[in-house]
Amino acid sequence: MKALIATVLILLGLLFTSAQAMAWVATPTEEKPYAFKFNKFEGENYQYETKAGDQETAFRRAADACFNHYKQGRHISMDYGQDIIDVCVNPKTI
């Protein structure tokens, strides 16, 4: 009887483990091209193009690229940084 219970528990454990492993498998999504245009800032219109699996990922990449483009690796004031953020969080999709 103990052997039967142990066997059932082992089988249930294996079943649960393989079901859990299957839940973590992500299917790759097809990447599509996205293009963004940002409002004029300091006399320049900035555009960014990328490929991503969804628009949210593409938007995040574009906003980061926009901020880094205008910051240009310099130390900037908080007010100037806020101005850049205001431009970079409101792109237009091309």
Closest CA to 66 of 32, 31, 44, 33: 44
Per-residue pLDDT tens over the stretch 19-72:
445 556 666 678 999 999 999 998 999 999 999 999 999 999 999 999 999 999
In sequence order, what are the residues at sequence separation of 6 or more whose Cβ sits closer than 8 angstroms to the Cβ of residue 91? Answer: 36, 37, 38, 48, 59, 62, 63, 66
Indicate the pLDDT class of residue 10, thresholds 50, 70 and 90: confident
| Token code pair at residue 87 | 């431009």
